[in-house]
Amino acid sequence: MSEEVNKNQEAENLQNEAEKKSESTEKQELNRESTDQENKDQASEESKLESEAKSEDSSESSTLEAETTKKSSKIDSADANEQDSPSDAVADSDSTETSQPEPNQTTKNATDELDEANAEDSEDEDVSKRHEIELKDYDSMSLDELVIEIEKLLSNEKIQSIREHVTQIKIAFDKKFNEIIEEKKEAFIEEGGNIIDFQYTSPVKKKFNSIYFDYREKRDQYYNQLKKNLNQNLKERLSIIEELKNMIGAGESMNSTFQHFKDLQERWKNAGPIPKSEYRQVWENYHFHVERFYDFLHLDREFRDLDFKHNLDQKLKLISRAEELIKEDDINRAFRELQLLHKMWKEELGPVAREFREEIWEKFSHATQQIHDKRQAYFEELDKEREKNLAVKEEVIEEIRKIADQEVTSHNDAQTKIKNIEKLREIFFKAGKVPRKDMDEIWNAFKKHTRTFNRKKNAFYKNLKQDQFENLKKKLDLIEVAEEHKDSEDFETTTPLMKKIQDQWKEIGHVPRKDSDKIWKKFKNACNHYFNRLHSKKNEDLDEEFKAFLAKKDLINKVKSAQLPDNKDESLKTIEGFIEEWGEIGAVPRNKKYIEGKFNKTLDQLFKKTGVEKKEAELLKYESRLHDLDEGSERDINREVFFIRKKIDETKDNINQFENNLQFFSSTDDSNPLVKEVKDKIERYRDELSMWKTKLDKLNQL
């Protein structure tokens, strides 16, 4: 009985271990299981390489596999011909019924899924750690973010725990980078490039390749060592099966035989993982010989029944826990723990009495099927949630289509559309996963309309480049003009020309980007060279003009204090001398022009003292203006001519206006004060007209 207690205690420890293992799955992401299914359809080069690293057989493993196949093919007849013990007859009759009945197809699908998961995990001693690492939405990340994520995983996690994460990161990175390459390739071809010469890379791609290369090296090292370990473990398990097979009829005492059997069970439990491809066959082979050993124990029913009871108790606990898992809200946690329960059922517990075998297996299978159905319903509900993501992505694609259907009309229009497309692309990638059945269709539609826009954009810029080459030629012509005149001394003529070509430069438009800075610098340097010279000249002139202003100011004071001779002719000569001296002094700064008015008022007082008529005095004063014009440029003379002609026209208009006004009076007699006022104004305007005409004649003489 103490042995039975020990066995029950051992079973309870196993149960506690299963519960402890199941708790480690609570941190996994809800989308982990859906990702497991999707990865079956999206096997990347990385996962293939890993699979090859795991399943590639050396000459040693080939021999082991052949041995396993040979042994499994002889299971039904194993020891059938042995005649050493009456137990053989019992073994033959009992071996016709397996430890668990043949399940129906629905239940078989559920158990096969668990067997497949356990077989895969049998190669990984750290499977719980793999499920605890967060699986993020890598599709929504940028290229830089994906590089940061894979670098972080490689630095912080075990290499065997990140396979699934790295695979999804690489799929997302390649998808986005390949799209960029397609865009660059189309632009290259449309610009006239040969596809053979096309090359494109980027710093982010180089960095990703470097990190991924490091990952593959570490992964290959790990799996090469793992392959050796798996094959060694396989050899150990086959050896255990062989010992188990040879125990029957060995002639040892029952106590010794049973203890040997328990030792083999313990060795089997600690033998370690084996290749996935061998998992099912090796376990079935082992399980067959375990059942055969229990049938052999009919000679000592005390040992057999005691162990049957222990196994029954433990399997009932597993069934009870499986039924509790049906109510578990965390579907992924329930599946992972159910996976552990199946592993304990098959690998750690032996058979039960024949009358209980079918009943307990049906209960266990029924609970398994319910969890499986609940899990399938969860995936269906997950797809319904992803329908919302699908709707978002369909809206994004429709917006991209609308933009792609429009023609690009200008550079600003192209840039606006590019920004809008980029925003829509960001929304598309961050929208999340869509149902698997829609993945290819939605991605192809996205690529189709994006490429349509890119083709139109590239075609627009191709045509725009033709215009830019023409603009380049026009600007080069302006540079030639600027450099030809930058050292000109004829500032009056060259300054308007330089300002004009600057305005033309602004109106021409864009040139090819590679030439833009170069030609702008040449043009700017030529213009700056000229205008710096112009400003320097103006500064010199300003200094001279300010000196002239001071001299003219002194002259005004001199004129004011002058004593004129009593003789009129002598007085006029003195005044004309002042006027000539004024003209010889030169021009004054523009903001000092008011000094001309002061000089004229001073002269008017002298003319008044001398008794000179107003018209004669005005013409004498104009002599100084003529002197300035004679010293100035032709442009100044033309401006003065335009001014006087304008005054002549205005004066004529005033005369005509007042003459017309006289017609409205019934009498033109001077006795009417209004008539007299009008006639006086007409007379003044005629005097002014005569004066302006005289000034124009003098100007024409210049």
Instruction: Yes or no: say if 473 and 517 are a contact pair by the CB < 8 Å rule.
Output: no
| 71 confidence band (pLDDT: 50, 70, 90) | very low
**347/45: higher pLDDT:** 347
Token digits for 420? 């809008």
Per-residue pLDDT tens for 526-583? 999 988 888 877 766 667 777 777 887 887 888 777 777 777 777 777 777 777 777 7
Per-residue pLDDT tens for 166-200? 888 888 888 888 888 877 877 776 666 666 667 88
Residue closest to 308 by CA, chosen among 323, 288, 320, 290: 290
**695/524: higher pLDDT:** 524
| 352 confidence band (pLDDT: 50, 70, 90) | confident
DSSP-assigned letters across all residues of 9-42? HHHHHHHHHHHHHHHTTTTS-TTHHHHHHHHHHS
Question: What was the pLDDT predicted at 114?
Answer: 67
Per-residue pLDDT tens for 203-223? 888 998 999 998 888 888 888
Q: Count Cβ atoms within 10 A of the Cβ of residue 660 and give its class: 0-12 exposed, 13-18 middle, 19 or more buried.
A: exposed
Per-residue pLDDT tens for 398-433? 999 999 899 888 878 888 888 898 899 888 888 888
Give the global pTM. Answer: 0.41
Question: How many Å apart are CA 452 and CA 616, to the nearest integer?
Answer: 85
Residue linked to tokens 């002639």:
251
Residue closest to 238 by CA, chosen among 277, 276, 281: 281
What separation in angstroms does the CA of 442 have from each of 176, 384, 387, 394?
A: 15, 16, 12, 7
Question: What was the pLDDT predicted at 281?
Answer: 85
| 373 confidence band (pLDDT: 50, 70, 90) | confident
**Domain assignments of the chain as residue spans, ordered by start:** 33-73+87-93+105-352, 537-632, 633-702
Question: How many Å apart are CA 508 and CA 516, to the nearest integer?
Answer: 12
Q: Which of 3-12, 152-161, 486-495 has the lowest mean pLDDT?
A: 3-12
Residue 24, pLDDT above cutoff 60: no
Residue 161, pLDDT above cutoff 50: yes
| 18 confidence band (pLDDT: 50, 70, 90) | very low
Size of the chain, expressed as the number of residues it contains: 702
Residue linked to tokens 């004060």:
673
Per-residue pLDDT tens for 439-484? 889 888 998 898 888 888 888 877 777 778 888 889 999 999 999 9
Residue 80, pLDDT above cutoff 50: no
Q: Taking all residues of the chain, what is their mean pLDDT, rounded to a whole number?
A: 74
Residue closest to 242 by CA, chosen among 267, 259, 276, 278: 267
